[in-house]
Copies of this chain bind each other. A is one copy, B any other.
Amino acid sequence: MQRYFIEEGNWHGDQLVITGDDFHHIVNVMRMDAGEEILCNHPNGNVAHCTILNVEDGQVTAEVAEWLDSKTESPISVTIAQGLPKGDKWEFILQKSTELGASRIITYQAERSVVKWDAKKVNKKIGRWEKIVKEASEQAHRNQIPSVDGVLSFSALLEESQTYDWKFFAYEEEARDQKSNKLHDYFSQIREGDRVFFCIGPEGGFSEKEAGQLKAASFHPVRLGPRILRTETAPLYVLSSLSYYFEEMR
């Protein structure tokens, strides 16, 4: 069944109105009409089975038939902080991290980021990024849309990380050292409801200066398996492992 994320202001008791892109999708793409059924997500994370009451010019009205007990959100809130990568990798990371359950996805300007984006370019792109995570959330049957931030400076990133329970960074040097702490040594200490911040470098990895600043800010260096992963593969390993451990093992 088709799923739509409806803004808080469009819910009125058990009824809701759907406008904009979602209106277009219901009426012109799906060609649905009164009496047909859709799934609607409330921003509080709940999802309802809804019946379309009425299709008017520019507005669909629907009514909640049943609130569902649907658990598709991770018990751990995970933020991925990704060093700004080249080309269309950032959009790939947004889509895949959403599918795999991230609650927040940030990009930041790393010392070795090959591209540099100014505020003007970011402002032009942010709407597109939000569309990617919204569509990926619908496709993945998620109940929450991750938030997207960027492009942060490295110091703003460190500032952002302060309120989190756990902070990690994927450090290639760790992949070679068999004696360093394993990912699981940390994951096994994380409790349900904890907030995890996972920082990943750009293509060239972290500079020594950045690695030092991360360690000074209480980030734990970890390896993601014994192989060297590309920058865009690292967040997928992190999110899949967390899902396996917290959603499939426990």
Contacts and interface: CB of A to CB of B under 8 A. Distances in A.
B241 A225 contact: no
A180 to B, nearest CB: 11
Contacts of A100: 225, 227, 229, 233, 237
A245 B243 CA distance: 12
B237 A141 contact: no
A227 B101 contact: yes
A166 B140 CA distance: 27
B229 A140 contact: yes
A230 to B, nearest CB: 6
A215 interface: no
Given A139-B230, A227-B99, A233-B96, A244 B247 contact: no
Nearest to A230: B99
Interface in A218-246: 223-230, 233, 236-237, 240-241, 243-245
Contacts of A229: 99-100, 140
A86 interface: no
Interface string A34-57: 000000000000000000000000
Contacts of A182: 248-249
Q: Which of A139, A237, A244 is most buried by chain B, counting CB atoms within 10 A of its CB?
A: A244
A229 B90 CA distance: 19
Q: Choose among A72, A227, A243, A248 the residue with the greatest number of B CB atoms under 10 Å from its CB.
A: A227
A45 to B, nearest CB: 13
B226 A183 contact: no
